[in-house]
Amino acid sequence: MNPSLQNWLTTSIEALKEQNLYKVPKILESPAGGRVRMNGKEVVNLSSNNYLGLANHPKVRQAALDSIEKWGVGAGAVRWIGGTMSIHQELEERLAKFKNVESVLVFTSGFTANAGCIPAVLTDKDVVISDELNHASIIDGVRLSTAKYKKSEGYVYPHKDMEALEKILQNTQSFEKRMIITDGVFSMDGDIAPLPTIVELAEKYNAFVMIDDAHASGVLGKNGAGTTSHFNLYGRVDIQLGTLSKALGVVGGYIAGSAALKDWLVNRGRPYLFSTAHPPMVAATLIAALDVMENDPEPMRKLWDNTRWWKEHLQEAGFDTMGSETPITPIYIGDEAASQATERALWDEGVYALSISYPTVARGKARIRTMPSAAHSLEDLEFALNAFKKVRDRMPALAGAR
Ligand SMILES: *Cc1c(COP(=O)(O)O)cnc(C)c1O
């Protein structure tokens, strides 16, 4: 390897290790679920986005097998050059009904849906106004655009601060278009964006709203239709992003909105234009996942029963869950080294719950992030709660003085 590159890589990795920010992924050796085998060990998994247990649901598995018989395994091309199969189209029609919008366009992931949609709808005459805790894929999508967006120029508001948002809206009236963009459910804190106020402000100041509902999809709203449904704001959120990779259990992302929006993205959404379509199996399994979500209330009920149980018991035991309102339940620690040590101690107790630290969250705000799901039994959660209590006796940082 080129010595400058080799040197740079070695020193950069060393620096990560010194800051306790170095990651080594563990390997899942069983299907996704509440209890899994990982790195040769049986553990309760509290770090999965498989909210509804659909990643290994029998009906969804069967749909995959059936679709391979019918369609084979690859689409063979990008969407617009013959890679769109009727099963892809059927999925988009189903999603549009599910979301109660005119049109949906599917991308290969939520990340590429952001990277495709955001730059496509903005020009250099526009501005993006963002919540400071927006997801990395929103930030990268915004960076790909030619619009103004920088925090240093005053276009990022403190987390959920609606007065600050209003001030920015007042100060940006000379732009041609203004887009307010926010996570629907914040991915590392588990709180919900104040969407009713955001929509009112957008309407008052002639801005438009894009919401990233990756963690709200399958979790909030009617049958899991997301924050727009949760707050009953149908028709008032211009662009909704959803993921098919988390609660829906497979992979993919989509943009839901008007027919004109879809029409534009089909012509100008670069990941749609230049990256191969999903395997047909992906579309077929997602249709099966939607069937389950629309016809079986049990997974969502169990997700929320488990969520309530988990939060109540953690709080009762004195842990700081940071104001989370959804299944995403962070347990605040602060110091990166203490958070990593806590993760290791939990692992020793048979619980996989990841430490989240910079750059995913701000420096000094490290936490253990947990997510109960419909795939967990009450015994799994009791087991995990006990592990947290045991670990706390050895880890003063977990005691939670913030
Ligand atoms: C996970 C996530 C994404 C990316 O979705 P994928 O389908 O996994 O690519 C986008 N936005 C937010 C807020 C997320 O949490």
- Domain match, 135 and 185 both: yes
> Stretch 147-161: mean pLDDT, rounded?
97
> Stretch 157-164: mean pLDDT, rounded?
98
Find how far residue 103's CA is from the centre of its chain.
21
Q: What is the CATH number of the domain that holds 356?
A: 3.90.1150.10
Confidence of residue 59 (pLDDT cuts 50, 70, 90): very high
Residue 5 forms part of a structural domain: no
Ligand 1 contact via 135 beta carbon (within 6 Å): yes
Whole-angstrom Cα distance, residue 80 to residue 277? 9
| Backbone φ/ψ region at 32: left (φ over 0), alpha (ψ -120 to 50), beta | beta
Q: Are 385 and 313 in contact (CB under 8 A)?
A: yes
pLDDT in tens, 248-265: 999 999 999 999 999 999
**How many A from CA of 363 to the centre of ligand 1?**
22
Buried b (16+ CB within 10 A) or exposed e, 186-207: bbbbbbbbbbeebbebbeebeb
Q: Say which of 99, 246, 302, 311 is annotated catalytic.
A: 246
Domain span including residue 101: 72-295
What the block records as the tokens of 115 is 């990277």
pLDDT of the residue at 99: 97
pLDDT in tens, 20-48: 778 889 999 999 999 999 999 999 999 99
pLDDT of the residue at 398: 67
The pLDDT mean for the chain works out to 96
134 CA closest ligand 1 atom index: 13
Considering only CA atoms, which of 46, 53, 86, 370 is closest in space to residue 224?
53
Q: What is the CATH number of the domain that holds 214?
A: 3.40.640.10
- Domain match, 44 and 143 both: no
Task: Output DSSP code: residue 279.
Answer: P
- Domain match, 36 and 181 both: no
Whole-angstrom Cα distance, residue 50 to residue 34? 9
User: Quick check: is 389 catalytic?
Assistant: no
Q: How many domains is the chain partitioned into structurally?
A: 2
- Domain match, 146 and 231 both: yes
Whole-angstrom Cα distance, residue 238 to residue 223? 21
Ligand 1 contact via 186 beta carbon (within 6 Å): no
- Domain match, 272 and 331 both: no
- Domain match, 152 and 40 both: no
Q: Within 13 Å of residue 116, how many CA atoms lie on the same side as its CB?
A: 29
User: Quick check: is 215 catalytic?
Assistant: yes
Ligand 1 contact via 245 beta carbon (within 6 Å): yes
Asked which of 269, 295, 321 is the last residue of a domain, the reply is 295
Q: Say which of 47, 103, 187, 245 is annotated catalytic.
A: 187
Residue 8 forms part of a structural domain: no
Asked which of 260, 279, 295 is the last residue of a domain, the reply is 295
Q: Are 165 and 155 in contact (CB under 8 A)?
A: no
- Domain match, 106 and 193 both: yes
111 CA closest ligand 1 atom index: 9
pLDDT of the residue at 401: 45
- Domain match, 283 and 361 both: no
Over its C-alpha atoms, the chain yields an Rg (Å, rounded) of 21
pLDDT of the residue at 310: 98
Burial zone of 70 (CB within 10 Å; 0-12 exposed, 13-18 middle, 19+ buried)? exposed
Residue 135 forms part of a structural domain: yes
> Stretch 82-95: mean pLDDT, rounded?
97
User: Quick check: is 187 catalytic?
Assistant: yes
pLDDT of the residue at 360: 86
| Stronger pLDDT, 361 or 109, i.e. the higher one | 109
If one residue of 213, 244, 246, 360 were mutated to test the ligand 1 pocket, choosing by the most ligand atoms within 8 A of its CB, it would be: 246
Beta bridge partners of residue 354, listed in sequence order:
369
Ligand 1 contact via 249 beta carbon (within 6 Å): no
